[in-house]
Amino acid sequence: MSDAAASDRQAAKAKMDELVSLCARRGFIFQSSEIYGGINGFWDYGPLGVELKNNLKALWWQKVVRERDDVVGIDSSIIAHPRTWEASGHVEHFTDPMVDCRACKKRFRADQLDDAPACSSREGTSEHDFTEARNFNLMLKTSIGASQDAAMEAYLRAETCQAIFNDFKRVRESSRQKIPFGIAQIGKAFRNEINPRNFTFRSREFEQAELEFFIHPSEREKWFESWLAERLAFHTALFGKDALRVRPHAKNELAHYAKQASDIEFLFPFGWQEIEGVHDRGDWDLSRHTQYSGKDLSITDEETKEKYTPMVIETSVGVDRTTLALLANGLVQEKLDDGETRTVLRLHPLVAPIKVAVLPLSKQLNEKAEKIAEDLRRVMNVAYDDSGNIGRRYRRQDEIGTPFCVTYDFESETDRQVTIRDRDTMKQERVALDGLVAYLRDRVEAPL
């Protein structure tokens, strides 16, 4: 490895260490079951993390479902009939190549051995002694039934989309939708990853926001390009264009049922990685579920009387990955004119966990300041902080991404105005109390 490459890797590790530390310290994300030493591949979202993640999901739902008349949503169960996963091919094909080290007893994906740390066996650090690669199914199994002997083997879902295909006929008929239309869902999925890594990027429990858009076979190219452009615009509004790229899949990496696919990738500290995929799945899913269930999932066009199985364009967002991207993209160490350094989390106001912090200049002003916070809480998430000097309180809010701080001071008692401080520019503006709610809503609720 060259000196430059080693330096880049060291800088990337330092950035991730800083991010992980901030997430734990400020209550964004921390390891599940932490008091017991944690459990690899599982993460808990704290008070700020759950707000950030929920805001991201709400924004996705608003753009993909509520602003369209051709998309409806569902919330399906995590466990589906086992035949679902036979039809989808997961039982047979959802595998990763795995190897074990005979010396240190650790397990690795066979296609990621370049990233494996040196072996730490009892004899000291050395090269690994790997077994032959073998396939490892990533589905997490469970049992259904009161008696283990009579239990039915089932699986925690490996993706949220299969339930959409199962429910296609029922949802189409009950919502009176016609082709083209989509079904969307946000929910948990589970994969028994061999080697979870890069904080929350690759976990065993994660959330997806997926859309399956059902179309006539003649319109595959049109809708693929349309949804790719729309989803890229969504991420560009959150991250800016320089942190993103679109990577079309090469022919040899396409799923066997896919005509084309593209990943929207974000530049993480550990490199370019997918946060969303747009896929042309063809009629694979509905055809397979028709075959395995015995229920005809084709449709007949009312006007032309043509009978066909709809094709599917899928958009699939990794919610946890995108949340991590928001944190990585926003975290900045900024040098100020006075020589000090501040940590600031530049989150878009629509996803910021806390929209506004209310800060009384003195505890003597608490009663009036608390009333302001109470009024604002009716329309947005608000923090109230009267501890420490005002500069320190500003820094605390900068570090958790709060876009605006409202300071109630002694002048406010007479001029009925407060000071609004902008997180990114640190500029301050006096605003009348009577117009405060409207002023802030215009800035924190502006459409993406």
Q: What is the mean pLDDT of residues 196-221?
A: 96
**Domain 3-78+160-327 coded CATH 3.30.930.10:** yes
- Cβ neighbours of 103 (radius 10 Å): 16
pLDDT bin (cut points 50, 70, 90) of residue 148 is: low
pLDDT bin (cut points 50, 70, 90) of residue 130 is: confident
Q: What is the pLDDT of residue 262?
A: 98
Q: What is the pLDDT of residue 7?
A: 76
DSSP 2: -
Q: What is the pLDDT of residue 444?
A: 96
Q: State pLDDT tens for residues 212-267.
A: 999 999 999 999 999 999 999 999 999 999 999 999 999 999 988 899 999 999 99
Q: State pLDDT tens for residues 3-49.
A: 777 777 888 889 999 999 999 999 999 999 999 999 999 999 999 99
Helical (H) or strand (E) element with 175: helix 168-175
DSSP 255-300: -TT-SEEEEEEEEETTEEEEEEEEEEEETHHHHHHHHHH-----EE
Cα–Cα distances in angstroms (integers) from residue 100 to residues 110, 128, 136, 237, 254, in the given order: 9, 9, 12, 43, 28
pLDDT at 135 over 80: no
Q: What is the pLDDT of residue 372?
A: 98
pLDDT bin (cut points 50, 70, 90) of residue 313 is: very high
Q: What is the pLDDT of residue 173?
A: 96
Q: What is the pLDDT of residue 54?
A: 98
Q: What is the pLDDT of residue 341?
A: 93
pLDDT at 435 over 80: yes
Top-confidence residue, 149 or 356:
356
Domain covering 354-444 in this structure, CATH number: 3.40.50.800
Q: What is the pLDDT of residue 256?
A: 84
Q: State pLDDT tens for residues 339-385.
A: 899 999 999 999 999 999 999 999 999 999 999 999 999 999 999 99
Return d(Cα 110, Cα 195) in angstroms, integer: 10
Q: In terms of Cα–Cα distance, which of 76, 312, 278 is closest to 182?
A: 312
Q: What is the pLDDT of residue 1?
A: 58
pLDDT at 132 over 90: no
Mean pLDDT of the chain: 92
Residues 6+ apart with CB under 8 A from 340: none
pLDDT at 151 over 80: no
pLDDT at 210 over 80: yes
Q: What is the pLDDT of residue 423?
A: 98
Q: What is the mean pLDDT of residues 199-210?
A: 96
Q: Where are the domains of the chain?
A: 3-78+160-327, 354-444
Q: What is the pLDDT of residue 63?
A: 98
Cα–Cα distances in angstroms (integers) from residue 30 to residues 20, 38, 102, 214, 351, in the given order: 8, 9, 32, 38, 19
Least confident of 24-28, 85-89, 153-157, 192-196: 192-196
Q: What is the pLDDT of residue 123?
A: 61
pLDDT at 420 over 80: yes
Q: State pLDDT tens for residues 284-293.
A: 999 999 999 9
Return d(Cα 147, Cα 56) in angstroms, integer: 41
Top-confidence residue, 328 or 116:
328
pLDDT bin (cut points 50, 70, 90) of residue 128 is: confident
Q: What is the mean pLDDT of residues 201-215?
A: 97
pLDDT at 110 over 70: no
User: Of 86-95, 135-144, 197-206, which has the strongest mean pLDDT?
Assistant: 197-206
Q: What is the pLDDT of residue 122?
A: 57
Q: Of all residues in the chain, what percent carry a pLDDT higher than 70?
A: 93
Q: What is the pLDDT of residue 102?
A: 74
pLDDT bin (cut points 50, 70, 90) of residue 69 is: very high
Return d(Cα 43, Cα 23) in angstroms, integer: 11
Return d(Cα 246, Cα 244) in angstroms, integer: 7
Residues 6+ apart with CB under 8 A from 142: 79, 153, 154, 155, 156
Q: What is the pLDDT of residue 98?
A: 67
